[in-house]
Every structure is written in structure tokens, then in C-alpha cells.
Amino acid sequence: MRQSSVYDCNIIELPKNHQLCGNITAVNNCKEIPFDIQRVYFLYDVPGGSGRGGHAHKELRQFIIAASGSFDIIVDDGNVKRTFHLARPYIGLYMPSGLWRELDNFSSGSICLVLASTVYNEQDYIRDYDKYLEFKSI
């Protein structure tokens, strides 16, 4: 959605099954998050303190979890920027399509788990910030 704003992002707390032997958190299609999951990918071995991911998606919706460690997600709708700090495996950020996003301040050993609404499609990416602003203004 070209009209998405940073205020359409939501932090979602997932149910936690707490046991002495360890916790379990599950995510189901269209239950805890508002889309069908078509793809799961994860970022790992990201050098501590570094960042990545300056781009936007035209259609893709995502739910992003710090499955281990922590990092920041900076979302930008062309007018407003918001920073979300993720640091718990049962708390994630829902991101609608059409927002510029960057990931930063990865703690070493962290894992960024992404549940995605579509399969990988390079045509869905906007990788240039000026082109993103053009996309938003149409």
C-alpha cells in the first residue's frame, strides 16, 4: 500500500507457553498476525553493532521477531520515522507493505526471524530511497 504510514505498524505480543524446561511460542496463519505466511527467513551471523536492509516492499507484509538477541527496526513512510527495539522472542513487529525499513544495532549472535506474506520476489523491492519517495507520491 502506497498509503501505509508508520502508525500502521504494530508491536504484537505472542502467547507464551511457559514451562520449567523452556518456553514455546507459536504463530498461526491469520490468528496472531493478519496474513497467511508464505515464507519464513532469518538473518543470523550479523556482526554485532551492524545493520542492514535499507529497502521497501510494494506488496510484502512482514512480521519480524528477535528470536534471539536484539536489534532495532527503523521504519519510515517518507514523512515520519519510528524506531522499534526488538529484544524478546515472543514480541514481534507487524509491518504492512509500502514502508521503508532499516535494521540496525544487531547484538552479536542475534537472530532476526521474518514471517512473510509472499514468496521472494525481487520485483517487489524498492532499493533506492528517492524511488521510494516517488512511489509514495504517485
Residue 58 binds ligand TYD, judged by CB under 6 A:
no
**Closest of 80, 93, 71 to residue 6, by C-alpha:** 80
Q: How far is the CB of 32 from ligand TYD (least distance, A)?
A: 21
120 lies in the site for ligand TYD, by CB under 6 A: yes
Given a contact cutoff of 8 angstroms between Cβ atoms, the answer to whether 74 and 102 are in contact is: yes
Query: Under the criterion CB under 6 A, does residue 52 sit at the interface with ligand TYD?
Result: yes
Which position among 10, 12, 53, 107 is part of the footprint of ligand TYD (CB under 6 A)? 53
Q: Give min distance, CB of 3 to ligand TYD, in A.
A: 23
Q: Tell me, yes or no, if 85 is annotated catalytic.
A: no
How many C-beta atoms surround the C-beta of residue 43 within 10 A?
Answer: 17
| CB-CB contact of 63 with 94 (8 Å) | yes
Round to the nearest angstrom and report the end-to-end CA distance of the chain: 11
Binding mask 5-44 for ligand TYD (x = CB under 6 A): ----------------------------------x-x---
Compute CA 106 distance to the chain's CA centroid, rounded to the nearest angstrom: 14
Of 94 and 106, the one with the shorter C-beta distance to ligand TYD is: 106
Q: Whose grid coordinates read 505480543? A: 13
Q: Which residues contact ligand TYD (rule: CB under 6 A)?
A: 39, 41, 52-53, 55, 120
